[in-house]
């Protein structure tokens, strides 16, 4: 029997007060309601993402670099706004390469400030990366290394490569996702020496370092600094044993975003502890934050098309859903909302309303899986009001099921 994945119940929570939405966001959304089309949109405030990027960059030592992971939010206007405040972009497709280079143009003769990831890079993807002259391709396997060398030979260049490693174990406590598990990502640590020997013999590969991405949604600054230290020390030893000059250590992303009741990641403390790590001269340590920079710079808003009660349960139906915002059904979290009242309603129509009760928020798709929030208490919500999800700046629009049923995709706007 097929099991339907629904978000966890939000009881006993209530919706956020409307003033959790910044005044400029409220004003922009209410302005959109004056159009005849039902509202279903993302609104982004670039200043929030820029503030996060600058805070992290300024806390880190000079040997560290911040490369924003484009997959978290690829809205071109936001990338352009972020570009002056980061060191580069992390990309995983040809489309992301194009977006990144448009936001951060490259000077001739200088490596494109991009690092490239992904477990199944095709020949066309690898070719575009090599032609773009990216700073590092994170190679995931021995076969990928051979493909990179063959393509680079054909293009008459040498490709800069960092080997992605799946470590056997990371001896760091805290909320890190430890290594040593079977995965499609990277080369298992026991196989690394043999892969490095072959990589060093490939004619068009320039081995510059390692990529180790073993942290996920970590809110513990001390554990993350210890993880950074471990990555650097491991990479120094591995490069020495293999006999090549280490210039690049990519520790991935993994800095977490705090939701209700969680303590935010202490950026200042992380930077203080990172500064104590001994990094050899000439080695760049790359961090690839995505969600951390943009999660709280975005809001997803959808108009309430109906409010209805069925067998004692009240449903708030949206012009949108998992075709626009799939996170609540993909992650085991309660993604709370605010209700933005919208004035005006045709006198000839009844205005369905729910007051002082618990509601379930659902979308417009023909599946019960299109459920975004369950059992949340509202003071009042009416047809025509807007339901607004904060913390929708990362893995929102990019992660949604845009083509399912063929409804119009959500709009995107930058404040």
Q: Are residues 380 and 398 in the same domain?
A: yes
Q: Are residues 199 and 284 in the same domain?
A: yes
> How many other C-beta atoms lie within 10 A of the C-beta of residue 265?
19
Which residue's entry shows tokens 């026991």?
190
Here the tokens at position 25 are 């966001």
Number of domains in the chain: 2
Tell me how many degrees the CA angle 173-240-169 measures, rounded to the nearest 5. Answer: 25
Cβ 148 vs Cβ 137: under 8 Å: yes
Name the domain boundary from 294, 327, 359. 294
Q: Are residues 290 and 326 in the same domain?
A: no
Here the tokens at position 153 are 């030979």
> What was the pLDDT predicted at 178?
62
**Could you please report the per-residue DSSP string of 354-389?**
EEEEEEEEE-SSSSTT-EEEEEEEEEEEETT-EEEE
Name the domain boundary from 294, 318, 353. 294
Kindly state whether residue 121 falls inside one of the protein's structural domains.
yes
Prior bond to 12 cis, omega within 30?
A: yes
Cβ 104 vs Cβ 70: under 8 Å: no
The 10s digit of each residue's pLDDT in 93-107 is 999 999 999 999 887
Q: Extract the runs of DSSP E, i.e. beta strands, from 221-330.
A: 248-250, 284-287, 298-310, 313-318
Here the tokens at position 90 are 């992390």
Here the tokens at position 280 are 């050899």
Q: Are residues 301 and 274 in the same domain?
A: no
Q: Using alpha carbons only, how large is the chain's radius of gyration in Å?
A: 24
Name the domain boundary from 275, 294, 313. 294
Tell me which residues are annotated as active site. Answer: 366
Which residues, 6 or more positions from 48, have their beta carbon under 8 angstroms from its beta carbon?
296, 297, 393
> What was the pLDDT predicted at 277?
98
The 10s digit of each residue's pLDDT in 141-155 is 999 999 999 999 999
Kindly state whether residue 256 falls inside one of the protein's structural domains.
yes
The 10s digit of each residue's pLDDT in 365-396 is 888 899 999 999 999 999 999 999 999 999 99
**CATH code of the domain containing 362:** 2.40.37.10
> What was the pLDDT predicted at 405?
79
Q: Are residues 324 and 357 in the same domain?
A: yes
Here the tokens at position 207 are 């081995």
The 10s digit of each residue's pLDDT in 19-52 is 999 999 999 999 999 988 899 999 999 999 999 9
**224: domain range?**
46-294
Which residues, 6 or more positions from 19, have their beta carbon under 8 angstroms from its beta carbon?
none
Whether residue 179 has pLDDT greater than 80? no
The 10s digit of each residue's pLDDT in 292-338 is 999 999 999 999 999 999 999 999 999 999 999 998 888 878 999 99
Kindly state whether residue 168 falls inside one of the protein's structural domains.
yes
What SS3 state is found at 130? helix
**CATH code of the domain containing 279:** 3.20.20.10
Q: Are residues 302 and 260 in the same domain?
A: no
Residue 297 phi/psi, 5-degree rounding, is -100, 5
């Amino acid at each position: 029997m097929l099991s339907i994945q629904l978000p966890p119940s939000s009881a006993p929570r209530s919706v956020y007060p409307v003033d959790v939405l910044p005044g400029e966001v409220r004003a922009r959304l209410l302005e959109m309601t004056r159009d005849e089309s039902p509202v279903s949109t993302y609104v982004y405030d670039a200043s929030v993402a820029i503030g996060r990027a600058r805070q992290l960059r300024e806390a880190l030592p000079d040997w560290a670099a911040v490369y924003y992971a484009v997959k978290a939010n690829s809205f071109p206007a936001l990338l352009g706004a972020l570009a002056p405040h980061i060191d580069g972009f992390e990309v995983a497709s040809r489309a992301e390469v194009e977006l990144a280079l448009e936001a951060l143009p490259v000077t001739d003769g200088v490596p494109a400030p991009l690092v490239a990831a992904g477990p199944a890079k095709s020949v066309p993807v690898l070719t575009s990366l090599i032609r773009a002259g990216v700073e590092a391709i994170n190679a995931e396997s021995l076969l990928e290394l051979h493909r990179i060398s063959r393509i680079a030979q054909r293009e008459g260049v040498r490709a800069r490569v960092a080997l992605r490693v799946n470590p056997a174990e990371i001896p760091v406590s805290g909320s890190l996702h430890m290594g040593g598990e079977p995965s499609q990502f990277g080369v298992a640590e026991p196989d690394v020496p043999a892969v490095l020997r072959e990589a060093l013999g490939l004619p068009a590969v320039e081995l510059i370092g390692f990529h180790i991405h073993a942290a996920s949604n970590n809110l513990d600054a001390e554990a993350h600094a210890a993880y950074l230290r471990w990555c650097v020390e491991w990479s120094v030893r591995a490069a020495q044993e293999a006999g090549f000059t280490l210039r690049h250590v990519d520790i991935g992303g993994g800095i977490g975003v705090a939701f209700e009741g969680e303590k935010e990641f202490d950026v200042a403390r992380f930077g203080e502890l990172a500064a104590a790590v001994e990094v050899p001269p000439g080695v760049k340590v790359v961090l690839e934050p995505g969600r951390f920079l943009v999660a709280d710079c975005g809001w997803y808003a959808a108009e309430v098309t109906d409010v209805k009660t069925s067998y004692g349960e009240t449903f708030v139906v949206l012009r949108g859903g998992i075709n626009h915002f799939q996170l609540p059904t993909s992650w085991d979290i309660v993604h709370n909302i605010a209700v933005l009242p919208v004035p005006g309603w045709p006198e000839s129509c009844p205005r369905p309303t729910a007051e002082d009760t618990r509601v379930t928020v659902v979308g417009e798709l023909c599946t019960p899986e299109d459920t975004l929030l369950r059992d949340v208490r509202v003071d009042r919500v009416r047809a025509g009001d807007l339901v607004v999800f904060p913390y929708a700046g990362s893995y929102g629009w990019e992660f949604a099921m845009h083509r399912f049923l063929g409804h119009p995709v959500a709009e995107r706007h930058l404040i």
